[in-house]
């Protein structure tokens, strides 16, 4: 759950930066709405993490700052690129969350419900971004995103 919590910290930063630098007011509102849903996810993860006797990643400030920078860069490339970044991010997050469901004990119904609800919302964000005109990101960018997420996941798990 610490990894999911760290991911939600990063999502907050991404969406806030993308909203800040969005050119189209409708895209800005989409980003802000998605950020509000991610705030719910963050609260769910934090509550569950405490229930399980865990703690947030000590690197959360780093994840937030780095993700804000990445979100700002994506937004500065234009709204279509920013939407493309959302679509690809959420596609990768969906895969990550589904792998977490595979790893969670079947009897941990509370954690499973949280991850399933988050997955549903993330898929929705990606679909909305696609519908709003998301550009397809180049393969090297998608791979860099995957590797960055992997580093964050493995580090957050431990720290």
Check whether 156 has a pLDDT greater than 90: no
Q: Are 65 and 42 in contact (CB under 8 A)?
A: no
Q: What percent of the chain has pLDDT over 90?
A: 87
Q: Quickly state the pLDDT bin for 14 (edges 50, 70, 90).
A: very high
Q: What is the pLDDT of residues 116-142, one digit of tens each?
A: 999 999 999 999 999 999 999 999 999
Q: What is the pLDDT of residues 37-55, one digit of tens each?
A: 999 999 999 999 999 999 9
Phi, psi of 84 (to 5 degrees): -60, -40
Check whether 152 has a pLDDT greater than 90: no
Rounded Cα distance between 85 and 152, Å, is: 17
Check whether 84 has a pLDDT greater than 90: yes
Mean pLDDT, the chain, integer:
93
Q: Give the pLDDT of residue 2.
A: 92
Domains in the chain: boundaries: 2-158
Average pLDDT of the segment spanning 68-90:
95
Check whether 154 has a pLDDT greater than 90: no
Average pLDDT of the segment spanning 56-83:
95
Q: Give the pLDDT of residue 153.
A: 86
Rounded Cα distance between 97 and 94, Å, is: 5
Query: In this structure, which topology does domain 2-158 adopt according to CATH?
Result: Ferritin (1.20.1260)
Check whether 56 has a pLDDT greater than 90: yes
């Amino acid at each position: 759950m610490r990894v999911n919590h760290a991911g939600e910290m990063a999502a907050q930063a991404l969406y806030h930066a993308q909203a800040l630098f969005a050119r189209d007011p409708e895209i800005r509102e989409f980003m802000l709405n998605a950020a509000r849903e991610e705030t719910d996810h963050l609260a769910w993860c934090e509550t569950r993490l405490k229930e399980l006797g865990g703690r947030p990643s000590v690197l959360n400030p780093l994840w937030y700052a780095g993700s804000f920078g990445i979100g700002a860069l994506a937004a500065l490339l234009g709204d279509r690129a920013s939407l493309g970044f959302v679509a690809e991010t959420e596609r990768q997050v969906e895969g990550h969350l589904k792998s977490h469901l595979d790893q969670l004990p079947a009897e941990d119904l509370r954690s499973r419900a949280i991850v399933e609800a988050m997955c549903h919302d993330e898929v929705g964000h990606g679909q909305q971004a696609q519908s709003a005109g998301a550009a397809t990101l180049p393969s090297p960018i998608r791979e860099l995103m995957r590797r960055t997420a992997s580093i964050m996941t493995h580090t957050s798990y431990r720290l």
